[in-house]
Amino acid sequence: MKTRDKILLASLELFNERGERNVTTNHIAAHLAISPGNLYYHFRNKSDIIYEIFLEYEKLVDYYLDIPRDRPLTLEDLTFYLESVFDGLWSYRFFHRDLEYLLDSDPRLRKDYREFTNRCLAAISQIFEKMSEAGIIEPQPEDLRSAMSLNVWLVITNWMAFLKTAHAADEPASLSLTELKQGIYQVLTLEIPYLTPGYREQVMALREKYRPSLPEPTGTGV
């Protein structure tokens, strides 16, 4: 593997583990046992590394959220979208953690991320539309659909942050992909009232699969 790619991979790994704020370029170089000079030969600065990682993330999600135009949506599609999006979120989980700071320090990233958000919102909205065409949910006015899409987006992108704050610091391996996917339970909660009688039970069963195991997802602990 090329040094350049190794740097991207190691950065992503360290960022995810410790948070971008706690990972310096020197850490990354040390982790790879290469010199800082070497790292800076491949990337102009830290922002550039982050930007390239974002491009990967963007590509991945765009790929997942490619909605078929030629056929109606199925429940399997819905499951796939949800699972995929949370997988992506997990793989690039450092990103949403320090989002504001990252966007403030890189105008390119800010612009791209804004467009990315808009694409995601449009995709979510489209999924709703096709779900109603498929008779899974009741049709909704445009208005409501876009407000709901936004709520879905808010829940998805912030579920992880919530989980982290809900955890006690000393809990080992304090966040797992399984836990993260309980976010799907939360997203499906948003859709419950709109389900058609024909699909209600199936979706509720799907939702049940992601129900948090603890009585309270926040884990009062004390």
Chain residues that interact with DNA, rule: CB under 7 A: 2-3, 22, 24-27, 33-38, 40-42, 44-47
Output 33 or 169, the one with its CB closest to DNA.
Answer: 33
Subset of 179-218 contacting its own copies (CB under 8 A): 185-186, 189-190, 192-194, 216-218
Q: How far is the CB of 15 from DNA (least distance, A)?
A: 11
Output 164 or 209, the one with its CB closest to its own copies.
Answer: 164
Output 135 or 221, the one with its CB closest to its own copies.
Answer: 221
The DSSP-derived string for 72-105 is: ---HHHHHHHHHHHHHHHHHTHHHHHTHHHHHHH
Look at residue 26 and give the partner it binds from DNA, its own copies, none, a contact being a CB closer than 5 to 8 Å depending on partner kind. DNA
Tell me, residue by residue from 154 to 183, as one string, x for binding to its own copies by CB under 8 A and - for no binding. xx-xxx-xx-xxx-xx--------------
Q: Please state the separation of Cα 203 from the chain's center in Å.
A: 22
